[in-house]
Chains A and B, each alone.
Chain A
Amino acid sequence: MKRIYLDHNATTPVHPEVLEAMLPYFKDKFGNPSSIHGFGREAKVALEEAREKVAQLLGVSSSEIFFTAGGTESDNLAVKGTAFANRNKGKHIITSRIEHHAILESCKFLEKEGFNVTYLPVDSKGVVYPEDLQKAVQNDIILVSIMYVNNEVGSIQPMEDISRIVKDKGIYLHTDAVQALGKIPIDVRKLNVDMLSMSGHKIYGPKGVGAIYIRKGVRITPWSHGGHHERSRRAGTENIPGIVGFAKAVELTLRELDDQNRHLKNLTETFYRKLVETVPDVILNGDLNSRAVNTLNLSFKGVEGESIILSLDLKGVAVTSGSACTSGTLEPSHVLSAMGIAPEIAQGAIRFSFGRGNTMEDVEYVASILPEIVNRLRSMSPLYAKGK
């Protein structure tokens, strides 16, 4: 059975060139970069070349790039690290209601430690209101953390407006760019952010590695203590194969950005159009014209999400949903709820996230099997009757 993967926002396959770049560092060049001998020096060279490459690609200096175990760790470091390093200046943090759990749970932890967190609301398309931010920034705020592109609906925040408001007050600004990297162009200097999180496995790189950009002069309290790795910001022997792979992945993803976006925009728009023509009561969660073009979050009225995922999985198609049954909690997606989407609609939401391996044939196949899947489930549903 042909397998079609439409869950690229969850993770991506490793690009063949990335894998090739990584292999030597598992086999022959396996040294510890902290070792003084030849094996160590060889690894150290690879580490610093990877750092320099990432820095160059982002237009920053290599002393501002720090490698971590992934997006979650980078987010934790940004939020908790900044909070603890600056708590003599204030104890108030601003973030949004639609952040990834790495940010939200870090904030919850900080609240238990005596910090106050303001969670900015979003509009029905999943975008923060700059006016709300303007009102919220006061003198006791030590950090604003707002994700650039949302993983569930692909909404893009007005980072330049946000930056202007925040930097005008001299407050530290972090953005979780885990989904933004490789999906939209990022100009770190122009954005004027102080910290930016990145993840390898979202950009056709390996899992277990990511990075954080920390602008020169920004102090953070490290959360991993031990050796003096990463300029004492993050202890732990560096994951050299992962880091080399990460740097290669950043290089490739930025190189392919425009072509990929053209391709993915075409795929998702065609997919959406086909569905709307063949399935009644399809609801788009988000903004078709302003989103990460690989992402489509659609609700099928009257049908719950996991039952659609199962049905698609039986046909070899991989997607995810924002329903409670898949989140492991009882509530629907916090992102969809924040957007004001009714619970029964949020429970029926499916995220289709396309990637570089997808083709128009994939679109045609999935669009051809969905109507029957949805109709079958609707015929069982007490919430859907023809003409409702």
Chain B
Amino acid sequence: MYSEKVMEHFQNPRNVGEIKDADGVGEIGNAVCGDIMKLYIKVKDNQILDAKFQTFGCGAAIATSSMVTELVKGKTLEEAEKISRDTVAEALDGLPPIKMHCSNLAADALHKAIEDYRNRIKARERAINLS
């Protein structure tokens, strides 16, 4: 069912864990659909220095989470924003059709993490302007 790359990432996932002082966190999914992903990013000078993930989900969910953290490290925020569900699936040599939908949430979690980072920046700027 799964490609060799998917199985490799499933058995040896990269960047598992939490970043306690993350600059952005993206959480996606829900227990009813069976996939929950949390993506943490560390950002400096518009570049993603580090990324980690935690996932409750199937083989594809774990593999896509792992792959997205690998794809994203060292990229600028703009480059990272271009990463889509298809980018992740292609990097894994494809996913079975039924897995494309529910387990490609990794790209979505990344975008949420970036959005979270940007929101925090905005909030900080607002606070500075008010003081």
Binds B, one of A51-59, A143-151, A290-298, A374-382: A374-382
User: What is the total number of residues of chain A having a CB less than 8 Å from a CB of chain B?
Assistant: 26
In the complex, chain A residues 304-342 whose Cβ is within 8 Å of any chain B Cβ: 304-307, 310, 314, 323-326, 328, 330-332, 342
Shortest CB–CB separation between residue B25 and chain A, in angstroms? Answer: 10
**A382 contacts B34, CB within 8 Å?**
no
Q: Which residues of B contact A383 (CB under 8 A)?
A: 31, 36, 56
Q: Which residues of A contact B30 (CB under 8 A)?
A: 343
**Looking at the complex, which one of B27, B54, B58 makes contact with A380 (CB distance below 8 Å)?**
B54
Docked CA distance A306–B61 (Å): 10
With known contacts A325-B102, A382-B56, A383-B56, A304–B16 Cβ distance under 8 A: no
Contact flags B46-79 to A (C-beta < 8 A → 1, else 0): 0000000111111111100000000000000000
Docked CA distance A314–B11 (Å): 9
In the complex, chain A residues 116-153 whose Cβ is within 8 Å of any chain B Cβ: none
Shortest CB–CB separation between residue B92 and chain A, in angstroms? Answer: 15
CB-nearest residue of chain B relative to A380?
B16
Docked CA distance A328–B54 (Å): 23
User: What is the total number of residues of chain B having a CB less than 8 Å from a CB of chain A?
Assistant: 30
With known contacts A314-B11, A328-B98, A381–B55 Cβ distance under 8 A: yes
Q: Which residues of B contact A344 (CB under 8 A)?
A: 31, 56
CB-nearest residue of chain B relative to A382?
B54
**A304 contacts B35, CB within 8 Å?**
yes
**B56 contacts A310, CB within 8 Å?**
no
Check if B94 is an interface residue, CB within 8 A of chain A: no
**B102 contacts A382, CB within 8 Å?**
no
Q: Which residues of B contact A302 (CB under 8 A)?
A: 56
Docked CA distance A200–B11 (Å): 37
Shortest CB–CB separation between residue B31 and chain A, in angstroms? Answer: 4
CB-nearest residue of chain B relative to A310?
B59
Closest A-B pairs by Cβ, 8 of them: A306-B58, A344-B31, A325-B58, A382-B54, A324-B34, A343-B31, A382-B38, A347-B34
20 extra interchain contacts, Cβ-Cβ under 8 A, other than A306-B58, A332-B34?
A: A304-B57, A305-B34, A307-B57, A307-B59, A307-B61, A307-B62, A310-B2, A310-B10, A310-B59, A314-B11, A325-B34, A325-B61, A325-B103, A332-B32, A342-B31, A347-B34, A379-B16, A380-B16, A380-B55, A382-B27
Question: Could you list 7 examples of A-B contacts with CB < 8 Å?
Answer: A310-B58, A323-B58, A330-B102, A343-B30, A347-B34, A380-B16, A380-B53
